[in-house]
Each structure stands twice: as structure tokens, then as C-alpha cells.
Structure 1
Amino acid sequence: MSALNNTQYQPPFFILKGIPGLEAAHIWISIPFCTLYVSTVIANSIILFIIKTEVSLHQPMYFLLSMLSGTDIILSTSVIPKMLGVFWFNSREIYFDACLIQMFFAHTFTAVESSILMLMAVDRYIAICNPLRYSSILTNPLLVKMALAVFLRSVLIITPIPFLVKRLPFCRNDVIAHTFCEHMSVAKLACADIKVNAIYGMSLTLFIVALDMLFIALSYIMILKAVIRLSTKEARVKAFSTCIAHISVIAVFYTPFLFTVMLQRIGQTVSPSVHITVANLYLIIPPTVNPIVYGVNTKQIRERIRKVLH
């Protein structure tokens, strides 16, 4: 019996349950998710096109914005199409390796997005606190190095997660109570101790998100100090208005993300449907809202969109 229990077994595929308790409403739930996904791809593609073709936008702030738009498309595409397949066609099966790949992309680009928001906060800090040295500090080579650094950090930190799942022995239960292959939702199916998975997952949250939020908070504290020292009210309003779009994007991304993390800790007292719905929201709402926020608040992008539409 002991030998049987220790036998390494991996199911050929998992079954994605969708949103437990709301299976009858999957078709209706799919409508807003599909609408948001299509909007995400179109809006972020427009942002990428505008930044690429408009020479005046070849600046650090817009380089980071293009990174954010590209990340948003990849992040939502890693999850939403399969989710819609579950909702529309009852296509619930996902091969074991495909599940691990989806897990890697979803978690990696969530980490990348957090890192880009941190870099954008640093960009705003330099633009407001050191405006005369802005272009000399944030040079194109430095931006490329920063982009590669945040991407490699995310990849290196997330890469162990699929391997931590792959090492686990699985029993007869192959139904994932989720819409995608979220790390702990898959790990909980294992008939083995998953303490290492839980500790590593929480460590990632603290290392990536908490560290990025700390840098964002410090950047805006210094920005606030610099703005307060400006001589006129008009100058203070103008300086702070340049940060409004970024602050909005930060709030849209971190609010559902932190709420999801909190629900994982108190999951026993919260309906699974609530937990899973919130987890999906942080994967689709920020990618949808980000281009709208920047399109409305950034004059150059707003004018370019107006030209494209006309």
C-alpha cells in the first residue's frame, strides 16, 4: 500500500470546472468576459500601433506603456480563450503539459505587469523630481536593460512553479475548480504534502508584489514632496495630473490582485464562485482598462486616436 501511495502518477489531462456553483450561468458570464477580451486586444493593439508609428511618442514613458500593452495582451490571451471554450463549448479538458504552460504564462506576465507598473512609477519620479535630467537619466539603452531585467526576474522566479507541480503525485481527482490552471488550484489536487508549493507561492507574492508596491509607494512619496515644494498651485496641479493615469492603473491592477490573495487565505469562509470570479477579474479588467485610462488622460495618444478614427 505504501509503495502504491508513493507511485508518481500524472493524469493525461485535467478538467477545468469553470466557476463552481455558477455552471448554469456560464453562457451569460461569458458575454462580458468575451467583450472585455476583444476590447483588450483591440485597444492595446491600437496603443502599440500609435506608439510605434508616432515619432513624437518615442519617449521613455511611452516605451514603458507599449511594454504594458504587450504584456496585457499576452496575459489575457493566456487565460481567456480557454475560459471561453469552457463556457461556450464545454471544452473542459486541458492536457497536463498545456496546463503547466498556461500556469507559467499567467503567473509570469502577472509578475511582469507588476514590475512594469513599478518602472512607470520610477519614470514619473524622475520626470517630476529631475525634469532637466530626465532624458539623460532614462536613456534608451537603460530602458532596454530595465525591461530585460524585469522580464528575466519574472521568468526566473516563476519557472520553478510548473516543476513544483510536476513533481507532485496526483490521484483520481483531476477536476480543477477554476477557469484556468492557477498554481494552488492545481497543487491542491495532489495526494501529497503541498507545503512547499504554498510557501513558495506566498514568497513570490511578498517578493514581487510587495517589493514592487514598496518602490511605487516610495516613488510617489518623493513625488508628493516635490509637488508640494512647487511655487504655484497651477504648477502643482499640472505636475500631479501627469501621474493620474498611472495611479489609476495601479489601483485597477493591485486592488483585485490583493483581494484575490486575501481570499486565498480565508478561502474557507468565502464562496468559491466569489474567489474565482475575483481571480479572473484581475486578469481581464486591468488589460481592458489600461489603454482606456491612458487614451483618455494622455493628450498625445488621445489626439492620435482621434486622427485614426477620422
Structure 2
Amino acid sequence: MSGVLVLAATPIGQVGDAPPRLAAELAGADVVAAEDTRRLKRLLTDLGVETTGRVTSYFEGNEAARTPVLLEELLGGARVLLVTDAGMPGVSDPGYRLVAAAVEAGIRVTAVPGPSAVLTALAVSGLPVDRFCFEGFLPRKAGERARRLEGLAAEERTMVFFEAPHRTAATLAAMADALGADRPGAVCRELTKTYEEIRRGGLAELAAWAEDGVRGEVTLVVAGATPPGPADIADDADALRAAVADQEAAGSSRKDAIKAVAAATGVGRRDLYDLVHRTDG
């Protein structure tokens, strides 16, 4: 009989936030796969738990090679517990490869729910939470980052990002350029920890604040684009048509021109398409 893969959330700050089932799963697992075995040891000490299972490392550098090994143990009936340094495995942390392999092999996958920097930051940001998307880490290179943000300019859902502290100022400045200086955002630093800090404001304001340096784990939350109403589109119809025509004159296809103008203005692509082609007709 096949075993079970258990994904267990670990505290993002205070150890008291550990879900009650975590201690039981750590004690009873046949194999504990940890992103950092040293942090696992500290967690076990803090929780007052001893694990009798085999402990192995499972991190970005060995994830591809270690996945088949763990899969064999699962196929042999083992209960494998996967933990990362903080939060839920697989969310910008190791785990996806093993989950995908286990699902493909017909192995049961379950989870111990618990702390999540994504949901915690979203909840305290003060921004809309009814619809949101998680974008993880943006590209490190400035050009790639700018292109990714350009593609998100018309995204109407609240967006959540992870970022390294030493890149936070540059990322916020790039966001201000691509999404608008006054677009509301929140910088959530050291969530649930002793020096937790949440800064809210326009993206340009936040970028200026971050220039003095940011420390600790950082999660960024950014408001989505405000969709223009029909009246707004009608009022700007001539300007929108002219912007598309300018893009085409510069060599863009009609499709790419509409895509570029939609991203720059926040007008929905379908609305812009209908506007341009209604004029052509």
C-alpha cells in the first residue's frame, strides 16, 4: 500500500503560531524532508518534539535529485512529511516537484494548514481581498522585471509578491514606473515577528521610504488596476484610437498595439478591441 505525503505549514515568525497537528506529524512521520535540517532541529526543540523518522534535506539545490528517492519511499508505504523554513511548502518554496510526482503516481497528498505570509500580508494590507493573485518573486534583472510588471499593469486583482530586502527599493520604484506612482501598496516586513512593520502608501512614496534600506523578510501587496467604466472609454475614445494607431505606425501588429495600449491605460483589451474595430467598420 502506498504511503502519504503530508505538506506541513511552519511558523513564519512566532513558534506559538505552529498548527497543533504539526507536533504530532513531526513525531509520527517515517521520513521528514526539510528545506533546512538545522532550522528543523530548532523547530523540534521549540516544540518539545522528538522525531523517530529519518530526517533528510530537501531544498532547491537537491530537489530534482531527491524527489525520486522520496517517491520510492512513498510507494513503499512511508508517511513523508515535508516542511520548509516558513509557511506552506510549494509556495515559493520547495515542494511542487514532489507533489506533482506523488499525484502522478496516485499517492495521497494532504496538508497541515497553518501560517502563510501571502494570506497574512493580504489580510493586514488594507487593500481589497475579495480577489487576489500571488506573483511570487519578480525577475532580478531590471529589464525582465519591467516587462513582467508591464504585463501586470491592467491586472484588476490585488497582487502579492515576495521580495528580498536588498531589492525592495528597486522593485518598488519599478512598480511605481509600470503601475503608477499613486497606485496603493503595502510593504509587510517581518510578519508576526518582534519587529513587524507594515508601511502603506502610494508606490512612489513606498519606494522613497525603502531607499534608506529594508531588513528582514518582505512581502509586498499592491492594489489592482481600477477598470474604466463605459463612460471613461467613451470620453477617451479618440485618444485611445490614436494611441493604437501610433503603435501600428511604429510597426506593431493590431493585436500587439491593442495589448500595449490596454496595459498602459488600464482599459480592458476586449473593450479596446471593440472600440477600434467598431470604428473600422
For the aligned pair, the TM-score class normalised by the smaller chain equals under 0.3
**Higher normalized helix content (fraction of residues):** 1
Q: TM-score under structure 2 normalisation?
A: 0.23
Q: TM-score under structure 1 normalisation?
A: 0.22
**Higher normalized strand content (fraction of residues):** 2
| Greater Rg by CA | 2
